[in-house]
Amino acid sequence: MTAAIQIDRHDATIRKIQWRILPFLVVLYIVAFIDRSNIGFAALRMNAELGITSTQFGIAAGLFTVGYFLFEVPSNLLMHRYGARKWIARILFTWGAVAACTGLVHSYFQLAIVRTILGIAEAGFFPCVLLYLTYWFPERQRARVVALFMVSLPIATLIAGPLSGLILDHVHWSGLASWRWVFILEGVPAVLLGFLSLRILVDGPRDARWLSADEKTWLVDVLQAEAAAKVGQHGSVSFWNSLSGVRIWLLAFVYYAKSVAVYVLAFYSPQIVKGLGHELSSTAVGLVNGLPYAVATVAMVWWARRSDRTGERRWHVALPLMVAGVALVLMALSAGNLWVSIALLTLITAAIYAPYGPFWAMPSLFLTSSSAAVGLAAINSIANLGGFVGPVAFGALKDSTGSIYPGLAFVSLTLIAAAILIVRLKFVMEAEKRIRAKLRTAAAL
C-alpha cells in the first residue's frame, strides 16, 4: 500500500470520527452556552422587576464562573476516571435542572445563589469535551476540530438572541413574567440531551463499534506515539505541575483575557444593542445581536484551518486579540451611529472567537493523559474567572460613569496585554517547530 493511499485512508477515518461525534457535542455546547448567557437577554426585563443595578447584575451573572472555577478540575479528573459518557450525562442533567430553576428566583440574593450553583452543576463540561477530543484526534487536526466544536458558541448566541427575544415579547404563560420563561424553556433541553448522551457517546476509540479494527489500531498507535513524543520533549508533567506550572498560568492568562471579552459581550451586548437603538423591540435586539455571531462562526473555522495548515499557533491567537482590542477603542468614536457600532461589534465578536481553535491546540502540545485532564481544566477554570471580573468591572464602570465606553476600554487593554504575551511564549515556539517538521514530512510523502 502506497503512502498516499494510507494517508487517504487515515484522513477518511478522521472524517468518519468527526461526523460521528462532533455534531452531537456541538449541540450540547450550544445548549450549555445558551443556559449560561441567556441571563443577558432576561436582564432586559428582569433587572427592573427585581431592582437589580448594573453592578449587581454583573456580580450575579459572573458568579457562574466562580462555581465553575471551584469544581472544574475535580470534574475533569472524575471524567478521566469514570468515562465521558456517564460523566457528561451527569453534567447535563444537573445543569439543565438548575438553569430552569433560575426562572423561579424573586430577589437578587436568590439569583446570585442559583447562578453559583449553575456554575457548579456545569463545571467541567467544556474541559471534559476538550479532553475527550484528545482521545480521538491527532495533533495535526486538533485546532480545526476544536474550532468546529467551538462554533457552537457563536451559533448559540445566534439562536439565543432571536429565541430569547421572542419569548420575552410573546410568552406570558400561567401568569409568569416572560423573562422567567426564558430560563425555564431554555433549561429543559439539557435534561433531555442527558438521556441521549448515554446512548450516543462512547468513552474512546476502543469502544467505538463503528470503527474497524484497522482504524482503531491506527488511531490508538498514532495517539500513543504522540504522547510518547511529548514526554520525550517536555518530560512527564506531574499532577501539581499540570495544575500550577508556569506554562499553565501563562496560557491561563491569555484565555482569561479572552474570557473577559466573551462574557462581557454575552451578558451585556443585548443591553449595548438596546442602548444603540432605544426603539428596538426585544425580538429586534435578539436579531441584531445575533448578526456578529454569524460572522464569527465562519471566521472561527477558517482561521483554525489556516492555523492547522501552517502549523502556526501564537500569531493566530495574538492577531485577532489585537484587532478586537483596537476595535473596542473605536467603539467610543462611533457613539451615536447605530450601523457603524454594529459593524465594529461584528468585527470585535469575530476577532474574539477566532483564536479558540489555535489556542486550545497549544496545551495538548505538552500535556498527556491525566496531566491533560488536570491542565486543560486548570487553564479553563483559572481563565474563566475573567467571566466574573469582566462583567463586574464593566457593570461597576457603567454605574459610576453612566457610559459603556470605560468598560470597553478595560476589556481592550486586557486583550492587548494577552496578545503581547502569547507571541513571546518560547515553549509554544518550540512546539510549532515540531509541528512544521511533521507537516513538511507529510508533504514530502
Is 344 among the domain residues?
Answer: yes
Nearest alpha carbon to residue 370 among 251, 236, 245, 252: 236
Residue 211 contacts residue 219 (beta carbons within 8 Å) = yes
Is 250 among the domain residues?
Answer: yes
Q: Read off the pLDDT of each residue in 194-223 and give the average, rounded to a whole number.
A: 90
CA distance 218 to 13: 9
- Range 111-122 burial, b when 16+ CB lie within 10 A, else e: bbebbbbbbbbb
Nearest alpha carbon to residue 297 among 158, 159, 151: 151
CA distance 66 to 228: 35
User: In a 3-state reduction of DSSP, which class is residue 367?
Assistant: coil
| Residue 263 one-letter amino acid | Y
Is 215 among the domain residues?
Answer: no
Nearest alpha carbon to residue 38 among 113, 107, 96: 96
Q: State the pLDDT confidence band at 366, using cuts at 50, 70 and 90.
A: low
CA distance 384 to 304: 22
**For position 325, which CATH number holds?**
1.20.1250.20
Q: Read off the pLDDT of each residue in 184-212 and give the average, rounded to a whole number.
A: 91
Is 365 among the domain residues?
Answer: yes
Q: What is the pLDDT of residues 66-82, one digit of tens each?
A: 888 888 778 877 887 88
CA distance 331 to 405: 8
pLDDT at 234: 47
Q: What is the pLDDT of residues 307-342, one digit of tens each?
A: 888 888 889 999 999 999 999 888 877 766 778 888
Residue 356 contacts residue 150 (beta carbons within 8 Å) = yes
Task: Share the mean pLDDT of the chain.
Answer: 84
Q: State the pLDDT confidence band at 127, using cuts at 50, 70 and 90.
A: confident
CA distance 354 to 262: 12
CA distance 6 to 10: 6
Q: State the pLDDT confidence band at 239, using cuts at 50, 70 and 90.
A: very low
Is 222 among the domain residues?
Answer: no
Is 17 among the domain residues?
Answer: no
CA distance 32 to 102: 14
Alpha-carbon torsion, ordered 330, 333, 339, 343, to 10 deg? 0
Q: How many domains does the chain have?
A: 1
| Residue 161 one-letter amino acid | G
pLDDT at 264: 85
User: Model pTM?
Assistant: 0.74
- Range 374-412 burial, b when 16+ CB lie within 10 A, else e: bbbbbbbbbbbbbbbbbbbbbbbbbeeeeebbbbbbbbb
Nearest alpha carbon to residue 385 among 142, 69, 72: 69
| Residue 408 one-letter amino acid | L
How is residue 332 written as a grid cell?
467610543
Is 216 among the domain residues?
Answer: no
Residues 382, 384, 387, 388, CA torsion sign: negative
Neighbouring CB atoms inside 10 A of 427's CB total 16
Complete DSSP assignment for 309-325: HHT--HHHHHHHHHHHH
- Range 303-323 burial, b when 16+ CB lie within 10 A, else e: bbebbbeebbbbbbbbbbbbb
Gyration radius (Cα) of the chain, Å? 21
Among 26-35, 53-62, 106-115, 195-204, the range of highest mean pLDDT: 106-115
Domain that holds residue 184: 22-203+231-444
Q: State the pLDDT confidence band at 441, using cuts at 50, 70 and 90.
A: low
pLDDT at 286 over 80: no
How is residue 385 written as a grid cell?
474567572
Is 43 among the domain residues?
Answer: yes
